[in-house]
Amino acid sequence: MRPEGHGDRDGREWDTAMGNRGKRSGGPRSRASRPPRPGQCVPKLLGADVELGNFLVGVTRHGGTGPEASRALLREFDGVPAKRWQTAPSAGTASGEGVVQSDPAWESSYRSDNGYSAAYPASSSLNLQDQGRKFLPSNGGCAYIDLDHLELALPETRSAFDHVACWHAMLRLTRQAMEAANHSARTAREQVAVLVNNSDGLGHSYGGHLNLLVTRRAWDNIFSRRLQYLLYLASFQTSAIVITGQGKVGSENGRPPASFQLSQRADFVDTLVGPQTTFNRPLVNSRDEPLCGGRYAWGTRGAAADPPGSHLARLHVIFFDSNLCQVAGLLKAGMMQIVLTMIEAEQVDPQLFLEDPLDALGRWSRDPGLTSWARVAGGRRYTAVELHRRYFEAAARFVDQDRCEGLVPEARRIVELWDDTLTKLEARELDALAPRLDWALKLSILNRARARRPDLEWDAPELKQLDHMYGSLDRSAGLYWAYERGGTVEQVVPESLIARFVSAPPEDTRAWTRAMLLRRADGDQTLEEVDWDRMRWRGRDWWAPARTLDMSHPLAFTRAATGAAFDAIAGLDDLLDALGVARGPAVTTASTALVHVH
């Protein structure tokens, strides 16, 4: 059984984006399966995985209270475990050997209010990274624990505007979890606090990662073929902190003293490029984990039997701060979409490469007056705003030539907002920037506090507390939310869209089908495993073979492609048949079952 229009729309859209307009031919190296030619681009699909600060208020523990706080939060998320019998994170604290001690009171079967359930057997030894991952039937995103921090992974979106709305929707789900955890706290003292920031002020940083879909050719150009592409991206990201920084009091990680910085992550960036994320952090991250194109396709690319979509890659950006201001978050995502499309199109300007991006990052972050300069490779000196203006001019020309059509939704609107924000930065209009940029809003809050208390120096603990309270999720204590309620913060996505993504997935990415299948997690089949690019079910009888749906094509499995099947079919077995999932050990791939594109 196959729903009407099944698979064709996404295939045509993919071929158009890749420039493959000819009829597909058979054979292992058909035209559609060939690597993208120079200048071919793909839609800049967006994702994010963001760690939050979490702790118990007023409680002191050896090793901190992050383990207890993060587990209390995760427990309140309604979700389906990534693996059916995965180990649950306990409420214990981490020992010196990296082992979490089990607390049986917190090791119970999980059942959400919506009926999704899973059993978690207790364990005395846990991996401190990626614990307890739950995929959310509400919107197709997920939540888990990474090194005792709650981490949110957003559902995939095509539009930067949808991306911002999904981010704020996930924060609302986190606030609901925080409030539920605090309502059921074992004692009145053990209240969970959550901070949306990237530094605890004690020398530790946690990431707000942005992810974007790119062609494998562009990936190879950046990391293994053309050094100038890496430098172009690194220099752009460095100059972008004038827009993307959340702001921070002081300095950490052995960096020079600072009163106030633009970027929270700048102190923790130690090298230009590398795959690592928790030590010696790179400005440009080279982790090659595509989450598309077939499992481990990146390791066998170029072979005659390339899996569908194996000429895709995911750029994992660990450099940026977590933004609360909607304009800053929108521009962070939208600017990266446009600049990466330029890199894919092989349109880079070698005059914009910084001579030393890491040195420039430190100089510019510690200069909220925006007057410090750094040299580009040709010897010319630029301030961060001046260099960023050069990047903008190149991007604006690219968009004016319709080069982002079909690849970056509402690119012209992004460019207009980018231009206007840069104009305000050039004029040093802090009051005009505060509604748009987190670092400007935070700095204005701190300046007002210092005006009322002239005795406060920049190293005063009262100012550091205000810094942290800016990103608190608490409705009454969080400074950002107070300014948002007061109408001070500029809104670029409607409230209705944020509210929608609290309980519904984006309809134009595979997040839609993932969420719909999660809502039918236990029907005729038992959902045994779920990941971003595949789902596997096993029959309730022990001899029944597993059925696996390969969702490796990240632009397929939209509501337009699969919605008719979900509307017409009630039983999970029949629905899997409609989606083309084989009744047997074979893995159903996107090429043969759903979209037949490469």
User: Do 169 and 216 belong to one domain?
Assistant: no
- Is 48 part of any domain? no
Q: How many helices (H) and strands (E) does the chain have?
A: 18, 21
- Is 340 part of any domain? yes
Measured CA distances, 527 to 117, 521, 549 (Å): 11, 6, 11
Q: Residues for the chain: how many in total? A: 598
Say how many domains are in the chain: 3
Is the pLDDT confidence value at 349 over 60? yes
Structure tokens at 294: 């077939």
How far apart, in whole angstroms, are the C-alpha atoms of residue 476 and residue 278? 32
Would you state the pLDDT for residue 184? 84
Structure tokens at 189: 């003292």
Place of tokens 């077939």: 294
User: Do 289 and 247 belong to one domain?
Assistant: yes
Mean pLDDT throughout 493-500? 98
User: Do 179 and 70 belong to one domain?
Assistant: yes
- Is 67 part of any domain? yes
Pick the more confident residue, 107 or 428. 428
User: Do 97 and 175 belong to one domain?
Assistant: yes
Would you state the pLDDT for residue 521? 78
Kindly state the greatest CA–CA separation across the chain: 77
Average pLDDT, the chain: 84
Measured CA distances, 179 to 59, 184, 412, 541 (Å): 18, 9, 40, 40
Structure tokens at 516: 């719909």
* Residue finishing a domain among 466, 500, 534: 500
User: Do 15 and 128 belong to one domain?
Assistant: no
Structure tokens at 401: 């030539």
Strands 587-588 and 546-550: parallel
User: Do 512 and 496 belong to one domain?
Assistant: no
User: Do 374 and 462 belong to one domain?
Assistant: yes
Containing structural domain, residue 521: 8-34+507-594
Is the pLDDT confidence value at 491 over 80? yes
pLDDT digits (tens, 9 = 90+) for 217-229: 999 999 999 999 9
- Is 329 part of any domain? yes
Nearest to 140 by CA among 164, 117, 157, 118: 157
The model's pTM = 0.87
Strands 312-317 and 53-56: unpaired
* Residue finishing a domain among 195, 222, 240: 195
pLDDT digits (tens, 9 = 90+) for 204-260: 999 999 999 999 999 999 999 999 999 999 999 999 999 999 999 999 999 999 999
Q: How many other C-beta atoms can be found within 10 angstroms of the C-beta atom of residue 591?
A: 22
pLDDT digits (tens, 9 = 90+) for 428-467: 999 999 999 999 999 999 999 999 999 999 999 999 999 9
How far apart, in whole angstroms, are the C-alpha atoms of residue 403 and residue 228? 21
Do 79 and 136 meet the contact criterion of CB atoms below 8 Å apart?
Answer: yes
- Is 203 part of any domain? no
Structure tokens at 25: 């031919």
- Is 39 part of any domain? no
User: Do 526 and 573 belong to one domain?
Assistant: yes
Structure tokens at 554: 């990240």
- Is 40 part of any domain? no
User: Do 349 and 383 belong to one domain?
Assistant: yes
Q: Is the dihedral of CA 341, 346, 350, 355 positive or negative?
A: positive
Q: What is the CATH number of the domain that holds 222?
A: 3.30.590
* Residue finishing a domain among 157, 174, 195: 195
User: Do 582 and 534 belong to one domain?
Assistant: yes
Is the pLDDT confidence value at 292 over 50? yes
pLDDT band at residue 29 under the 50/70/90 scheme: very low
Structure tokens at 367: 């200069």
Would you state the pLDDT for residue 567? 96
Percent of the chain with pLDDT over 90: 72
- Give the containing element (helix H, strand E) for 440: helix 438-452
User: Do 24 and 114 belong to one domain?
Assistant: no
Is the pLDDT confidence value at 181 over 60? yes
Q: Is the dihedral of CA 465, 471, 472, 474 positive or negative?
A: positive
- Is 44 part of any domain? no
Do 290 and 376 meet the contact criterion of CB atoms below 8 Å apart?
Answer: no
Place of tokens 């409230």: 495
Do 587 and 548 meet the contact criterion of CB atoms below 8 Å apart?
Answer: yes
> Residue 19: CA atoms inside 13 Å, Cβ hemisphere, count?
13
pLDDT band at residue 186 under the 50/70/90 scheme: low
Is 101 strand, coil or helix?
coil
The type of residue at 98 is G
User: Do 106 and 185 belong to one domain?
Assistant: yes
